[in-house]
A and B are shown apart, each in its own frame.
Chain A
Amino acid sequence: MKSRMQPRHYLSEAVFERERDRIFRRLWLFAGLKTMVAEHNDFITREVAGVPVVIQNFRGELRAFENVCLHRSMRLQTAPAGRRPLVCGYHGWSYAVDGSASHIPLHDELYRFPAAERDAMRLRQFALRAVGNLLFVNLDPDPLPITDQFDQAFIDLMESSSSMYDTEVMTTTWHTRFNWKLGYENLRDGNHPRFVHPQSITKNVVFVPLMDEALHAEVTPELDPSLDRTARREILRRFSYGGAEGSFKNVVRYDWQQYVERWGETDAYFNWLAYPNLHIASSDGGFSFTIEHHVPVAPDRTDLEIYWMTARKRQPYSFSGTVLLSLMHGSKLVVGEDVQVMEEVQRGLHADAPTPRQGDYEGLNKRVERWYVDLIDGDHEI
């Protein structure tokens, strides 16, 4: 059958803006790791749907604020992560845990805000949730319950595995040239690894494409237009799932693995897919974890943030950073193969490009697509 997705969904600025409003400013989005903001004054900055956000530790309390000073709109924290009080570098305004300007240098001499005005000045605060070691932020002033986006079993699985991440985290960002949706579509396509990764991951991991007749029957008809918000959120909850997806031809062990507390005891390739743009994997059965975060920048540009952690160390060992770098270079190869394909797909797209044809095995993507098209092209909201 023909896909519901049209080339404009990957090319149009208008669609991209609508996605920001209807998806990225409504859903819970990955924002970083709790271990990176574990101490007083630790912070992470990021841009979420065009909004600069800072997550800051105030004596153990984590808060997410708009990372913009109320005085002259300077970004309060400028580094990607670090340890520094929430103070503007422009005129020295300091902010407290409630977002108020707790100290304005020379206030009485130069600013003289009336008390009522000063009391009302607050940084815009965003909802923040920790699921194990994973931080999620939501820009919506009235955010949906996180359990409306992810089912409890999936939350429990993310919590269990991420709680085992070590505190040493290696990270980088790739600037890619494809639409963010190609990322999750590729990850939900179990037939791509044998063709895209024959020289890398499928040498030792077997992925079997899903042929789910019940899913096929569910997603073939159009979405019932009379569905209410509860029913639509029930569909949304099914987009995210996790567990063992691939089996090993040979179980390979490395010396460093003796120094970490493995998550579980299953020799399998684990994937966690959290809609809309988060992918977590453990390619070695719980000894190490990678996070791939597809951050939309423009219709044809996505920043791909890559994180690597081993499972929690039993004891420090001198070459732990080198282990992470080896893992990072491994994903440069494997994810690099995915990126190359997705960038070629993006290059092939144009306004009159043919509508993609989908097979029966592509039910996971069809399930997302009919909901997405209904949301973006229709009048519904999440």
Chain B
Amino acid sequence: MKSRVIIGAGDMLDIASHVWSSVPGAGDVTRREVAQRADYSFDLSVFDGLDPAATALFVAFDERFGNFKRMELMQAAMERGFRLESLVSPRAVLGGGARVGPNAFVGDGAVVGSAVVIEYNVVVHGGAQIGHAARLRASAWIEGGTIVGARADVGAHAIVRSGAQVVRGVRIGRGCELGIARVYAEEVPAKTVFDPRYDEPIRVYGG
């Protein structure tokens, strides 16, 4: 049996460690905290001494820098030959046909409907509700207390914060942040940010 190791930092490292430790019959979980330098780069010596063939690995990091730092750590693991696990809390509810990708996380009390697609590196926090056949694209971050309606499509690296409600079938673009607790009933263009500190949405034009 492979040894279970979580590499990460902060609250997400704590949360994922608690969840994985509570999976029945899975044995001990080793935590390794990754350090960041002044220029925000990771100290990747955190992988030293781990055997990819003998390790079941999970990367637990928060949504900072648009979820790109978590993805960077995940890519560093893959480049070293590690196979990344998906991590679903035994206290979450997963409907039939739901799929959960590598390094994706579903927390305590999350309710994930049938046929939902959760792509790699997505975090669905405890208490989130994801409707039937919704799609959560790679590296999205869904906080507790959100409702993602059936057949909604949440773009890669998007952040859906507590209190946001995405209406059935609505598409949320890549890199959006729904940071204001309200109903999102219309398509949100890529990289649009709703942040309560700002008077108006932050929008991006061109590319």
Question: A and B from one assembly?
Answer: yes
Q: Which chain A residues border B201 with CB–CB below 8 Å?
A: 172
Tell me the residues in window 176-207 of chain B with beta carbons closer than 8 Å to chain A beta carbons. 177, 190-191, 193, 197-207
Tell me the residues in window 15-50 of chain B with beta carbons closer than 8 Å to chain A beta carbons. 39, 41
Once the chains are docked, how many angstroms separate the CA of A321 from the CA of B173? 12
A174: interface (CB < 8 Å) = yes
Residue-wise interface mask of A (247-273) relative to B, using a CB-CB cutoff of 8 A (1 in contact, 0 not): 000000111000000000000000000
Given contacts A321-B191, A332-B197, contact A81 B205 (CB under 8 A): yes
Query: Does A167 lie within 8 Å of B65, measured CB to CB?
Result: no
User: Closest CB of chain B to A252's CB: distance in Å?
Assistant: 8
Residue-wise interface mask of A (148-173) relative to B, using a CB-CB cutoff of 8 A (1 in contact, 0 not): 00000000000000000011111111
A326: interface (CB < 8 Å) = yes
User: Closest CB of chain B to A54's CB: distance in Å?
Assistant: 16
Query: Does A325 lie within 8 Å of B193, measured CB to CB?
Result: yes
Once the chains are docked, how many angstroms separate the CA of A216 from the CA of B148? 63
Q: Which of A254, A318, A324 has the most CB of B within 10 A?
A: A318
Q: Which chain B residues border A170 with CB–CB below 8 Å?
A: 191, 202-204
Query: Does B199 lie within 8 Å of A173, measured CB to CB?
Result: yes
Residue-wise interface mask of A (133-149) relative to B, using a CB-CB cutoff of 8 A (1 in contact, 0 not): 00000000000000000
Residues of A in contact (CB 8 Å), total 29
Query: Does B198 lie within 8 Å of A174, measured CB to CB?
Result: yes
B66: interface (CB < 8 Å) = yes
A118: interface (CB < 8 Å) = no
Q: Which chain B residues border A81 with CB–CB below 8 Å?
A: 205
Query: Does A174 lie within 8 Å of B199, measured CB to CB?
Result: yes
Once the chains are docked, how many angstroms separate the CA of A38 from the CA of B68? 30
B144: interface (CB < 8 Å) = no
Q: Which chain A residues border B197 with CB–CB below 8 Å?
A: 332
Interface of A: prevailing SS: mixed
Once the chains are docked, how many angstroms separate the CA of A317 from the CA of B95? 36
Interface of B: prevailing SS: loop
A322: interface (CB < 8 Å) = yes
User: Closest CB of chain A to B57's CB: distance in Å?
Assistant: 23
Query: Does B199 lie within 8 Å of A325, measured CB to CB?
Result: no
Residue-wise interface mask of B (141-181) relative to A, using a CB-CB cutoff of 8 A (1 in contact, 0 not): 00000000000000001000000000000000001010000
The residue that A171 contacts in the complex, of B41, B65, B205, with Cβ under 8 A, is B205
Query: Does A319 lie within 8 Å of B39, measured CB to CB?
Result: no
Given contacts A321-B175, A322-B66, contact A172 B206 (CB under 8 A): no
Query: Does B205 lie within 8 Å of A325, measured CB to CB?
Result: no
Given contacts A170-B202, A173-B199, A332-B198, contact A255 B65 (CB under 8 A): no
Which of under 10, 10 to 19, 20 to 34, or 35 or more describes the interface residues of B?
A: 20 to 34
Given contacts A81-B205, A168-B207, contact A173 B65 (CB under 8 A): no
Q: Which residue of A lies closest to B65 (CB)?
A: A322
User: Closest CB of chain B to A317's CB: distance in Å?
Assistant: 10
Q: Which chain A residues border B193 with CB–CB below 8 Å?
A: 325
Q: Which chain B residues border A171 with CB–CB below 8 Å?
A: 202-205
A316: interface (CB < 8 Å) = yes
Q: Which chain A residues border B68 with CB–CB below 8 Å?
A: 318-319, 322
Q: Which chain A residues border B191 with CB–CB below 8 Å?
A: 170, 321, 325
A175: interface (CB < 8 Å) = yes
Query: Does B204 lie within 8 Å of A172, measured CB to CB?
Result: no
Given contacts A254-B39, A322-B175, A325-B193, contact A172 B65 (CB under 8 A): no
Once the chains are docked, how many angstroms separate the CA of A115 from the CA of B116? 62
A36: interface (CB < 8 Å) = yes
A376: interface (CB < 8 Å) = no
Query: Does A36 lie within 8 Å of B200, measured CB to CB?
Result: no
Query: Does B66 lie within 8 Å of A172, measured CB to CB?
Result: no
Q: Which chain A residues border B66 with CB–CB below 8 Å?
A: 319, 321-322, 325
8 A-B pairs closest in CB distance:
A322-B66, A167-B206, A321-B191, A172-B202, A173-B200, A175-B199, A319-B68, A321-B175
List 20 A–B pairs whose Cβ atoms lie within 8 Å, in order of A's numbering: A35-B206, A167-B206, A168-B205, A169-B206, A170-B191, A171-B203, A172-B199, A172-B200, A172-B201, A172-B202, A172-B203, A174-B198, A175-B199, A319-B66, A321-B190, A321-B204, A322-B65, A322-B66, A325-B66, A325-B191
